[in-house]
Every structure is written in structure tokens, then in C-alpha cells.
Amino acid sequence: MQYGKINKLEVVRADDAGYYFLDDENSEIFLANYKVSEVLNIGDTLEVFVYKEDGDQLLATTTIPFAQIDEFAFLKVTGSNKVGAFVDCGMPNDLMVPFKEQSGRLDEGNWYVFFILKDEKSGRLIASRKVNDFVFFENVDLKEGDEVDLLLYDKSDLGINVIVNNMFKGLIFNSDVHKNINPGDKIKGYIKHVREDGKVDIVLEPLGYKKSVDKNSEIILTAINNNDGFLELTDKSSPEDIKHQLGLSKKAFKKSLGYLYKQKLVELYKDGVKLI
């Protein structure tokens, strides 16, 4: 049994209140019957998330949280008190963010990236805002061109900071952003460079993409990005409008626009072009 994670467990007994499973040390894990939509029998197995609330009793729920232990997640701050702040992780109770695990101000109603961990004193799950404490800067087993999973978490003057494969810290430079992305997004990316300090530079397209996109396509992508993801030009626009906004001929515009559409980078509308 893995605490703070989803487990497939077997029902060992039941009473009027609910069902009981056993962990690896033969301690009972309780699942309230009102949290189950079906009647279970002894010997049935069920996927449940195992956690604690108050006290030492292990509890189970069929509700899948937004993140499990040892994972990063983009979570909303729901409030605070004299011991810390609280975030909604999709569990029956909000997770506490102790003051010692906060990095900067946490405003109620705002969203931030947190790391989910077990509090050694209480045994309960808590959240930490100290991202750098839970990413690895040594033995980064990534190489140029690798496809990776990204969690975007905040913007800086240089670009957008990301968590890479739930393990490493990366950055997408502003010059490499050609579509609308925002903190909290979970997307795919590609390794551009692993720096000596263990941080990782990320791009959103496979390496070699920019070589395959001609200069005119880059001009169009940049213009769309600079206009909040939508450019009011189409293949029906006048040559004068296209020249004025992009500095391109209508023929060059139509050719590059067709290429971007085939690459599924843009959507075409009657009144303009939108980034995908």
C-alpha cells in the first residue's frame, strides 16, 4: 500500500459505517459507505486514494485528487489561519501549507504550483510552495530533443518557468513561445539544452521545427502572438492590409498561412487567424 497515492485494495471486512482494507502492516484503512456508489462484498477490490485527516486513522476515498504525494500541481489557495494557508487539492479536506513551506505571499483565490508531501510530524499530506526543494539539479537524465511533460507555473521577464517530468526545473524563453500558454497548463515540450547548473531550456516544437518554417511563417506567428492569439487577416484580405500589417505580399502570406494550417498551428476563421 502506498500512502498518499491511489491503491487497488481488497475489502477485508464491513460494518454499518463502511468498508475496511488492510495496509502492509495490517493496519485498517476505512472507507465510508456513503463515498461508494455500489455495495461491496468481502474480497472485492477497489481503487481508492489513501490519506489521513485528524488522528492516526488511515482513510480511503474513491475521489481522485488533483495530485498525489511527490507530485507538483497547480492549486488554488482557499484561505489561511495562524498556522498556515490552505489549498484545494480535490480531497475531502483542503491541504495545509505550513508557514515554513511557503515561499512568498499566498493570496486567497490565487493559483500557484505546490509540491505534495507527507508531514513527518503529523503524518498528514501537506503542500509546499518551495519548488526548488523538490526538483533535481544533478544527474539530469535528459538529452537534447527528448519529448517531456511540462507543468507551467509562473512567468518571468525571460519567459515561462516549468516543471519538467515532475522532477526538473525548466524555462521556455519568450522568443520560443508561439502560442497561447499560461501557468497551470500541462503540455508537451522538447529539450533544447541542459545547462551546467541543472536547469533545462525548453521549446514547444520538436527541434528542427524552426528550420522547416520559413521566415514568412515566423512573421505571421509572431504577429498572431502579439495580437493576443488572433490576427484579423485572411486569404481574402486586401494586399494593402497584408502589406501594412505584416510587410508581406499577399502571395507570400497565403503560402505561409497554408503551411501553418497544415501543420495544425493555426485555425482559420472568416474574420482572421487564431493560434492553436
* Residue closest to 168 by CA, chosen among 140, 146, 195: 140
Please, which pLDDT band fits residue 59 given cuts at 50, 70 and 90? very high
Q: Residues 264-276: pLDDT tens digits? A: 889 999 999 998 8
* Residue closest to 234 by CA, chosen among 253, 260, 214: 253
Give me the residue spans of the domains in the chain. Answer: 6-61, 72-132, 147-203, 213-275
Is residue 47 within 8 A of residue 40, CB to CB? The reply is no
Please, which pLDDT band fits residue 208 given cuts at 50, 70 and 90? low
- Per-residue confidence (pLDDT) for residue 18, from 0 to 100: 92
Q: Which fold has domain 147-203?
A: OB fold (Dihydrolipoamide Acetyltransferase, E2P) (2.40.50)
Q: Residues 124-155: pLDDT tens digits? A: 999 999 999 999 999 899 999 999 999 999 99
CATH superfamily of 72-132: Nucleic acid-binding proteins (2.40.50.140)
Cell numbers given for 195:
545547462
Q: Residues 69-78: pLDDT tens digits? A: 999 999 999 9
Mean of the per-residue pLDDT values of the chain: 91
131 DSSP 8-state letter: G
Amino acid, single-letter form, for residue 66: F
CA 140 to chain centre: 20
CATH architecture, range 213-275: Orthogonal Bundle (1.10)
Q: Which fold has domain 6-61?
A: OB fold (Dihydrolipoamide Acetyltransferase, E2P) (2.40.50)
83 sits in which H/E element: none
Domains 6-61 and 213-275 are alike in CATH topology: no
pTM for this model (two decimals): 0.73
Give the pLDDT mean for 218-237.
92
- Per-residue confidence (pLDDT) for residue 27, from 0 to 100: 83
Q: ∠ at Cα 189 (165, 65), nearest 5°?
A: 45
